[in-house]
Amino acid sequence: MKISPINYSIYNKPNNFHKKQTCENKVVQNYTQNIYFGRDLVTNYNRETVINYLNSNPKPIAQGTDGIIYKQGNKAIKLAKTKETSFEAEANILKHLPKSLKTSQSYIDYFKHNGKDVLVSSFVEGNHKKALSPDDLDKLFTVILEHDKSNIIHGDLNLGNIMFTPNGEISLIDYGASTIPDSTQVELYPNFVENTNALKLENTGINDSLKTWTETGEARKNFIKYLSKKADFYSKHAQLTKSEEAKAYEENLSIVLKSPNNDVIETELKRITTLDLLESADTATNYDNNPHEAIKLWNKTVNSAKEYATYTNEKINSSTTNVERTYFKHQNEIAKCFHQTLTDWRNGTINWLYQIKEENYIPQSEAEQRIKQNWQKSL
């Protein structure tokens, strides 16, 4: 699930319920080309065979937010659920995936079928895991660093999009929320924090693993290992940064996280907790369409950000070294940025939800219709 809250206002519905069509792509029935599937070259791909397959009413293997997924041989076929959904941006991402990732998805084709977008890519064989292990983290951080080098931000690094292939490699799949950003700046964070796939991993992937680690009694041990792997990632990523301020931040982060003390561990957990609550609030608002649950979760999210800010402010003065003091100053700036931005998002979202509740408000989408219906349900 991607995190995609925006600055809602009482006059505007959220614009992430609909994806705008951005291009027209004519179907050429006899389109053929040679395509690389991971390490293997597949020749003479024919678009007509895919169209015939879709016309045969096949059984899907999965369904995403915007598309239905089919498997035809060694091809993955993603069919848009609506005519308004576009896969053009995702197709462009697949074309730019780094060549160093030998087992990643490969772009094959993009066209329209019965007015709906179709994206064809290689099918990545493998399995998902309920939680990442410390050994997985080494490989995963290597993969996401390669994406950073190619300026590709995956955007939805949950465990369902991290594939463990039969040859022991890790491949990312589902680039529907991915971007090639024009700027290194990222929402929620101050300017010295650059957009990285490590940030996206903390939005969704690590909190899922943390919950499983907690169930098995290995949360603290594995989380410390995670921080150490994250330190290695930022030590390398610092050499890619575009500003001296960002480089200094990442180098400091890599030093402190390599051997974190209890205060650092607690700080990292508080930030991830806030991000986890944000994802839950966004899901309740935009996907579950539950206004009652969304309001409670948005309030919890803002309160969590406030606790994060208070805690890091206290640790600035109690730090025993300049390196740790600098770390907590950075974290306090992040926490204050979290608190201000999330407060604005919460207020706008709640105003928008209550706007839909008004008797004379006409829902502008199916999601708004569901929200209006859910207002009738008791807390």
- What are the tens digits of pLDDT across the range 192-203? 999 999 998 988
Amino acid at the residue 340: Q
Residues with Cβ < 8 Å from 89, sequence gap 6 or more?
Answer: 22, 178, 179
User: 378 pLDDT band (50/70/90 cuts)?
Assistant: low
**Least confident span in 49-63, 77-91, 92-106, 240-254:** 92-106
- Say if residue 326's pLDDT is above 80: yes
- Say if residue 284's pLDDT is above 60: yes
User: 185 pLDDT band (50/70/90 cuts)?
Assistant: confident
**Least confident span in 16-30, 175-189, 216-230, 332-346:** 16-30
- Say if residue 310's pLDDT is above 50: yes
Arithmetic mean of pLDDT, 309-320: 95
Confidence (pLDDT) at 137 = 93
Secondary-structure breakdown of the chain: helix, strand, coil percentages, each rounded to the nearest 5:
50, 15, 35
Q: Which of 130, 129, 162 is nearest to 143 (CA)?
A: 162
Look up the pTM and report it.
0.83
Arithmetic mean of pLDDT, 213-234: 94
Question: What's the whole-number average pLDDT of the chain?
Answer: 86
Residue 260's CB: how many other CB atoms inside 10 A? 20
Amino acid at the residue 45: Y
H or E element, residue 122? strand 116-122
- Say if residue 43's pLDDT is above 80: no
Sign of torsion, CA 143 145 150 154? positive
* Cα–Cα distance measured from residue 96 to residue 148, given in angstroms and rounded to the nearest whole number: 12
* Cα–Cα distance measured from residue 139 to residue 141, given in angstroms and rounded to the nearest whole number: 6
Q: Which two tokens stand for residue 61?
A: 């293997």
* Cα–Cα distance measured from residue 81 to residue 79, given in angstroms and rounded to the nearest whole number: 6
User: 242 pLDDT band (50/70/90 cuts)?
Assistant: confident
Confidence (pLDDT) at 21 = 26
- Say if residue 114's pLDDT is above 90: yes
- Say if residue 182's pLDDT is above 90: no
H or E element, residue 162? strand 162-164
Confidence (pLDDT) at 379 = 52
Residue 216 phi/psi, 5° resolution?
A: -95, 5
Arithmetic mean of pLDDT, 227-255: 95
Alpha-helix runs per DSSP H in 193-321: 197-215, 219-237, 244-258, 262-286, 291-318
User: 8 pLDDT band (50/70/90 cuts)?
Assistant: very low
CB 27 within 8 Å of CB 51: yes
Residues with Cβ < 8 Å from 354, sequence gap 6 or more?
Answer: none
Phi-psi region at 151: left, alpha or beta (left = phi > 0; alpha = psi -120 to 50): left
What three-state secondary structure class fits 40?
Answer: strand
**Least confident span in 27-41, 96-110, 285-299, 347-361:** 27-41
Confidence (pLDDT) at 25 = 31
Residues with Cβ < 8 Å from 285, sequence gap 6 or more?
Answer: 5, 14, 291, 294, 298, 349, 353
Confidence (pLDDT) at 181 = 85
H or E element, residue 369? helix 366-374
Confidence (pLDDT) at 7 = 30
Arithmetic mean of pLDDT, 336-358: 97
Residue 65's CB: how many other CB atoms inside 10 A? 15
* Cα–Cα distance measured from residue 33 to residue 141, given in angstroms and rounded to the nearest whole number: 33
State how far Cα 262 lies from the chain centre.
Answer: 28
Confidence (pLDDT) at 27 = 34
What three-state secondary structure class fits 82?
Answer: coil
Q: Which two tokens stand for residue 212?
A: 């499983």
Q: Which two tokens stand for residue 235?
A: 């030590």
Confidence (pLDDT) at 183 = 78
Distance of CA 317 to CAs 162, 311, 326, Å? 40, 11, 11
- Say if residue 23's pLDDT is above 70: no
Residue 71 phi/psi, 5° resolution?
A: -120, 120
Q: Give me the residue label for tokens 């959220």.
A: 14
- Say if residue 99's pLDDT is above 50: yes
Arithmetic mean of pLDDT, 325-332: 98
Q: Give me the residue label for tokens 């290194």.
A: 184
